[in-house]
Amino acid sequence: MAGTTGSQRVPFLVLRFMRRPILLLTMVYATSMIGWAVIPGPEQRPDPMGFFHSFYFLTYTATTTGFGELPHGFSEAQRMWAIVSLYAGVVAWLYALGAIIRLIQNRHFQAALAERRFARDVRRLAEPFVIVCGFGNRGSLLVRGLSDAGLAAVIIDRDPDRINAVHLRDYRIPTPALVSDARVPDRLAEAGLLRSNCRAVVALTDNEEVNAKVAVTACLLNPEARVVAQLTRDVHEETLATLGADIHLIDPFHTFARHLAATIRNPAVHMLYEWLVGAPNANLAMYADVPRGNWIVCGFGRMGHAMQDAFERLGIPVVVVDPNIAPDQAGPKVIAGHASQRTLKAAGIDRAAGIVAGTNSDADNLSIVLNARALNPGIFVIVRQNRHRNRALFDAAAADLIMQPTLVSARRVLFLLIAPLLKTFFEQVRESQVQARDAFLMDVITQLHDVVGGDVRPRLWTMRIGDETPAALARLRAEGCRITLADVLRDPAARDRRLPCVPLVLRAGDGWREVMPPLSHVLSAGDQVLLCGQEHVPHVLQATLENDYTLRYLMTGIDAPRGWVMQWLLRRFPRLQPAAAP
């Protein structure tokens, strides 16, 4: 059965399990009908019963309907044959029903049916969708974000409990899900990898070997699809780089370390990031001021190495504490042992500005936070939360920054899919910090605060001018109209008022990019604009770009008539033309 799909396996399994019952029923019915065709009837009607009437009799007696001796009374021989036929039919049907029950309960048949339904649901997806391989904490957070953004997701995971949980979620759009191994190319093909509306393939399983196999398979089968995979080993990055496809590798620890370094340079970076991602209680008026003094890093795994590199690039002294450090490597800056109060004192906790609890155990990280607070109540604490379900405990620990790898990965992937230009925005922010141009970041925050609102939860989306251009915008551009960003961002309810929306990044058709583009920019073919605004703005903007009258009114200030009578009158009497709005 290797290489077969669910649609192919279902008929095969049905025929395999039902072959003997079907043969037995056929033999019983054929023998009974032959007997009826040769046994003579009563003296009044001595002719034997025909095949049709015999089949009719067997049919209604098999269903226990009991119409009687039809089409006429039976002879004694026919009644005896009826007894034999009925008992044989009951036995055959009992055997067949048992086979049907065994077939329904067979796990291979259930898997084939689920695979067939999954492939059918995927074929029904007409809008762009994303294939998500792995529905753990990362995948669950990502699919929730995709659903809120209106982007469909197709899920593959090996754990049946996780797939069953998909059907209990209140997603806004259909989300097909399948219990299967994402490494099998046929399963990815059934998930829609080869379809033109497959926007991306995301590999977020807990096994990096699986993620690498999924990424390679996706690149080979559909080079046009974007591939996002959580991989931290350099060998995987080198292998995937040879494919030359649109591949993005996610490492939550390096991502957090780069973000922390930018935050140390300017605390407003963290404030802006938390507000853009919609973190709970985030606003554009409060931020965490990360100190620059001595730091202690507890746990020298992937997070510990990333944090040490980030601190060293900033010139911040670091002391590493880890129980797995070899004795010959220990020294003043590297201490072997668990992060107990004795070890923390040896690391200089009393004079440290901050501490990182970055082990892969939530219990150990919480213990480090409590010990650090007991020895130095004013120390800045960054803690790693490995399990999403332990959120209440970490919130109660009152750490200054909580690093949740699953959340960092999910946010990074989400913005790569729904707002890929956001990377350009933060690269410009980091560059401005390196060049000590704090005024740029403050101007961005001030504009977002004044236009969008510092206390609202923002929405990020990309407006594309091209094949997917809304109808009204395409028609007016074809007429030679010059449509600017200022035109489309006017409020249809009040033309002199601007929608609560700010363009963050402009990518022109020739690849040229500009952060915080001017509203005077004339939209042209191939333009992509990353917008940030309130939740309702995308719907208002889409309606504007689909309506010729609304868009023309926003451009010219003239509310043109829509009925053919008024249009004829205006052509007949030009002086009746409405005046342009100020």
**Closest by Cα among 192, 182, 186 to 215:** 182
The pLDDT value recorded for residue 2 is 47
Please state, in angstroms and as integers, the Cα–Cα distance from residue 514 to each residue in 240, 279, 299, 422, 504, following that order.
29, 27, 40, 12, 8
Tell me the two tokens of residue 172. Answer: 């806004």
**Closest by Cα among 134, 133, 112 to 191:** 133
By mean pLDDT, which of 142-146, 232-236, 249-253, 420-424 is the weakest? 232-236
The pLDDT value recorded for residue 349 is 92
pLDDT in tens, 548-566: 778 888 887 766 655 565 5
* pTM of the model as a whole: 0.78
The whole-number average pLDDT for the span 112-137 is 90
The pLDDT value recorded for residue 294 is 92
**What angle (nearest 5°) sits at the alpha carbon of residue 68, between those of residues 64 and 69?**
125
Long-range Cβ contact pairs of 93-102 (< 8 A, separation 24 or more): 93/25, 93/62, 95/20, 95/21, 95/24, 96/18, 96/21, 96/22, 96/24, 96/25, 99/17, 99/18, 99/20, 99/21, 100/18, 100/21, 102/17
pLDDT in tens, 83-111: 999 899 899 999 999 988 888 888 888 88
The whole-number average pLDDT for the span 215-234 is 85
Local structure of residue 451 (DSSP, 8 states): I
Tokens 């379809």, located at residue? 195
Q: Which letter, b or e, does each residue of 118-127 get, where b requires 16 or more Cβ atoms within 10 Å of its Cβ?
A: bbebbeebee
- Checking if the pLDDT of 437 tops 70, the result is yes
The pLDDT value recorded for residue 563 is 54
- Checking if the pLDDT of 369 tops 90, the result is yes
The pLDDT value recorded for residue 565 is 59
- Checking if the pLDDT of 3 tops 70, the result is no
Look at 41 and 232; give whichever has higher pLDDT.
Answer: 41
Instruction: Report the distance separating Cα 107 and Cα 32, nearest Å.
Output: 36
Instruction: Decide if 581 contacts 558 (C-beta within 8 A).
Output: yes
- Checking if the pLDDT of 580 tops 60, the result is no
The pLDDT value recorded for residue 510 is 77
Peptide bond into 317 cis (omega under 30): no
**Following DSSP, what letter does each residue of 109-143 receive, concatenated?**
HHHHHHHHHHHHHHHT--S-EEEEE--SHHHHHHH
The pLDDT value recorded for residue 544 is 84
pLDDT band for position 178 (50/70/90)?
A: very high
pLDDT band for position 357 (50/70/90)?
A: very high
List, in sequence order, every residue forming a beta bridge with 464; answer none if it has no partner: 528
Instruction: Please give the mean pLDDT across all residues of the chain.
Output: 85
Instruction: Report the distance separating Cα 325 and Cα 453, nearest Å.
Output: 49
Per cent of the chain over pLDDT 70 is: 90
Look at 469 and 388; give whichever has higher pLDDT.
Answer: 388
Show the domains of the chain with their CATH numbers.
6-105 (1.10.287.70), 124-250 (3.40.50.720), 262-418 (3.40.50.720), 430-575 (3.30.70.1450)
The pLDDT value recorded for residue 1 is 39
